[in-house]
Amino acid sequence: MTTATNTPPPGRAAWPPARLPGDLQLVLWLGSAPMLLACLLPWVLLRPNRLAQGEYLHLPPALAVLGGLLALATPLAGRFMPAGVPVLAPAALGLGLWWLGDRTAAAMQGQSEIARASASSGVWLWLLGAAVAVYGAGMVAARLGRWARPLPWLWLPVAAALLLSGHFSDWSVTRELSVQQARFGQELGQHVRLVLSGLGLALLIGAPLAVWASGRERVAGAVLGVANAIQTVPSLALLGLLIAPLSALSNAVPGLRELGVSGIGTAPALTALTLYALLPVLRNGVVALRGVSPGVLDAARGMGMSGAQRFWRVQLPLALPVWLSGVRQAAVLLVGVASVAQLIGAGGLGYFIFSGLQSGAGDLILLGAVPAALLAVLLDQGLRALEQVLGNALGRA
């Protein structure tokens, strides 16, 4: 009598295994360690106002024990029940967000309007560890199959529901946002305009240069060398170097001054952003265009296509996914550089960051830094998705 066994098809490992591979186990334990430590650290700093010294508040013992158990559950599930990892990791992240709103609300009970309940070290360590665990859960879900791939993203609807329901209304950053709401919308819009304008100008200048340089080795070396040299200059130094020439130019040509060109403000910021974005646009453009197979271009030539037709119908579509990778890198880079532009009066989210630094108000710093980070992530993920769509459409994914 023979017994049936679940033999995997040739070339495919059996899944789920008794436990995860060692590298995935390590990722899950690296996420668990900060969460365990977070349960012992303070979660809220309660202050009578934004600048005064405050009192550190810990999680209640029952919540600390619950957090410790959940922190251990994810890596232990990776060892004994891998299918539970894509559920437990986002649950830990969602719970951390819940506790942030719940603990700040509890701290603010009976406090005045100018009191502030800030997130302390425990919150940030828990969210860091949970984010690492979610990253590991994504790798586990990819092994489990298509049905499991959405599971690591379960924390997103939870976060959206908490945000829309006003669960974070007592968090100090939310309090600062309610006070600075009009100014926040203005500076966020200015930040987005600076990034998109700088990226657009870099594409207008860099795209033709990349096409020209892709077939000429000396030209490619020259333009990439100049772009590399610009990239080595620190952003603050570059902004400072642009003040004198742009001031002189606006004084020499009054018409430019009427258009808003001056040594401080938007003009030097936009110039610096454009220069910084040139290198990734140029480099990836040259690499992408040179990476198109000569055989494909020869086949297009054999079909009777002209040089322009080969470029627009064959070379550019095949090069576009790789080229877009450079555009994505440039966009993420500009989000950070645009924050520094506030120092020369260009506005943007850097207004809150540097105002907080000058006054010692950490909540104001977060009010500028957190949206800037989220904007960078959104741009990165949006352009990455466009790369994948184009890659799949062109058979390059």
209 and 329 co-located in one domain: yes
165 and 195 co-located in one domain: no
Q: What is the pLDDT of residue 49?
A: 85
Domain boundary, last residue among 133, 152, 170: 170
Domain limits for position 38: 22-170
Q: What is the pLDDT of residue 180?
A: 87
Structural domains counted in the chain: 2
Q: Is the pTM of this model over 0.85?
A: no
270 and 388 co-located in one domain: yes
Round to whole Å and give the CA distance between 232 and 395: 36
Q: What is the pLDDT of residue 295?
A: 83
* CA dist list (Å): 372 to 9, 245, 333, 375: 47, 29, 11, 5
Round to whole Å and give the CA distance between 331 and 319: 19
154 and 249 co-located in one domain: no
Q: Among 320, 314, 308, 318, which Cα is nearest to 284's?
A: 320
Q: CATH number for the domain including 282?
A: 1.10.3720.10
Domain boundary, last residue among 138, 170, 202: 170
CA dihedral 71, 72, 73, 76 (to 10 degrees): 140
Round to whole Å and give the CA distance between 102 and 108: 10
Give the tens place of pLDDT for each residue, 76-132.
998 888 899 999 999 999 999 999 999 999 999 988 888 899 999 999 999 999 999
> Digits of tens for pLDDT over the chain (397 positions)?
444 444 445 444 445 555 678 888 999 999 999 999 999 999 999 998 877 888 999 999 999 999 999 999 999 998 888 899 999 999 999 999 999 999 999 999 988 888 899 999 999 999 999 999 999 999 999 888 888 889 999 999 999 999 999 999 999 999 989 888 889 999 999 999 999 999 999 999 999 999 898 888 888 888 889 888 988 888 888 888 888 888 888 888 877 777 777 778 888 899 999 999 999 999 998 888 888 888 888 788 888 888 788 888 888 888 888 888 899 999 999 999 999 988 888 889 999 999 988 888 888 899 999 999 999 999 998 888 888 887 777 654 4
**Helix/strand/coil (H/E/C) assignment for every residue in 324-368:** HHHHHHHHHHHHHHHHHHHHHCCCCCHHHHHHHHHHCCHHHHHHH
Tokens linked to 393: 């459409």
183 and 120 co-located in one domain: no
- 3-class secondary-structure state, position 14: coil
237 and 385 co-located in one domain: yes
* CA dist list (Å): 339 to 77, 234, 323: 41, 13, 25
Return the H-helix or E-strand segment holding 181: helix 181-214
